[in-house]
Amino acid sequence: MKKPRIAEWTELRGIAFLAIVMQHSIAEYIYRADIEQPDSIMLTMIYHLTRFGTPTFVFLAGVMLFYHHRNTKPDYPRFIRKRFGDIYMPFVVWTLIYWLSVRIFTPAFWRAGIPDFRSLIRELFVPQTGYHLWFVIMVFQFYILFPLFLVGAKAIQRRIQNASRFTPMQVIIGLILFAAALYALLMQWSYYNMGGWTESMSEPWSTLLQYRSYSWVMYWFYFLLGAVCAWSVDSWRSWTTKILPWTICLFIGMYIWLGYDVLRGSGDVVNLNISTYLKPTTFLIIMAQMFMMYGFLVLMRGKDTRFQRLLAWIGRYSFGGYLVHALVIYAIAYVTRPLHLSGWHLPVTLLSFLVTVGIALAISWALSKLPGSRFTVGLMRKPRSTPNSSAAVDKRNSSERTPSPGSTRSPGTSEPF
């Protein structure tokens, strides 16, 4: 029997996808030479509403892995083989697409004769043309190491159950706070110290530090939170709603601080890298946003509004949309970059965002209906049902338990995260 699908996870994935597309749309316009200061400030304010996007995908990866394997020991070869097909193969396919797409519009590519395939090999390790594909490299490391994480999580669970001095909830909260402090310290080192360390270290350590954003080590706390959520979904729901007033206050405070920090540290051109993921203050706003979003989605459970159904649909095709959305931004930029947009960067950014979301999700949906969709958008086509198979499914479903409110059963297709 398949586990019930938790509705808010798919909805949260949809929100995270929208946040990431907005980030990349803003990055396309905010650095242009003809942008005016009001547009720069407004785009910076919108940008800080989206910082939770990528870490939320890491959180959801942890949620799905631990939710489906917390009571089982995964068959590692089969587990990796499946994830390789669902996640890494789409990365390889789209890396090739981005590599070709950028080069076919470059005259030097056609004059060179034999293409420089070394640059393609480099793209598989350090994506540049598909600049967003670094995330797939990073998150796939969690899948490779997942059996070790699972063993560690089960060992911690046994210790929590045997604790006598404190309640399990107190122990879990204490561990989360301790892990958050360690992670904040790591972010402190990453933002303020590691840049200097790269100059004094020899290879390969200097290179590893230079590309530290590609490493799972820099995002492990979000994966840990996913494990906590997956182990006790009902407690997590209750907890996120109870602390909702506090997370809202924390978000407002950090939102003001990050906006001020970026504007204070920037010159004539806004520097969004001041709000990098690998910074302690950014970590705080990400946590506030993530818990706040989850709490709101929990409060909406069971209402089945059009907005929720839209978020669920977006979440369903978000991985494919994520893979393709940068290509859509490239296509839009091909039209907008020659234009003089002084005074129009804010509305053009918002319009580009809407167009990118619509086209990227449409492409993801269309590819999911074609053969080989697993290797393009990470989704398996739903098999056609026959009268006999439908009867068998109805008979099997009648003997299964009804899923809990706010959740639906898996429709027979796989999701990468």
Q: Within a 10 A sphere around the Cβ of 260, how many other Cβ atoms?
A: 10
**Quick one: pLDDT at residue 328?**
96
Q: What is the pTM of this model?
A: 0.88
d(CA 258, CA 44): 9
Interval 396-410 mean pLDDT: 39
Mean pLDDT in residue range 19-41: 93
pLDDT tens by residue, 179-206: 999 999 999 999 998 878 877 777 777 8
Structural domain includes residue 48: yes
- Domain annotation covers residue 218: yes
Please list, residue by residue across 190-229, b when 16 or more beta carbons sit within 10 angstroms of its beta carbon and e when fewer do: bbeebeeeeeeeeeeeeeebeebebebebbbbbbbbbbbb
pLDDT single digits (tens) 72-107:
777 888 888 888 999 999 999 999 999 988 877 766
| CB proximity list for 136: less than 8 A, separation 6 or greater | 87, 88, 90, 91, 323
Provide the domain limits for residue 281: 5-408
Angle at 190 between CA 187 and CA 196, to 5 degrees: 155
Distance CA 250, CA 255 (A): 8
What per-residue confidence (pLDDT) applies to 405?
A: 36
Q: Tell me whether residue 304 is in a domain.
A: yes
- What is the domain count for the chain? 1
Does residue 414 sit within a domain?
no
346 inside domain: yes
pLDDT digits (tens, 9 = 90+) for 57-74: 999 999 999 998 887 777
Residue 403: band (very low, low, confident or very high) from pLDDT cuts 50, 70, 90: very low
Q: Is residue 416 a part of any domain in this protein?
A: no
pLDDT of the residue at 416: 57
- For residue 94, give every residue at least 6 positions away whose Cβ sits within 8 Å of its Cβ, in sequence order, or none: 130, 133, 323, 324, 376
User: Is there a domain that residue 417 lies in?
Assistant: no
Residue 390, pLDDT above cutoff 70:
no
Q: Assess if residue 219 is contained within a domain.
A: yes
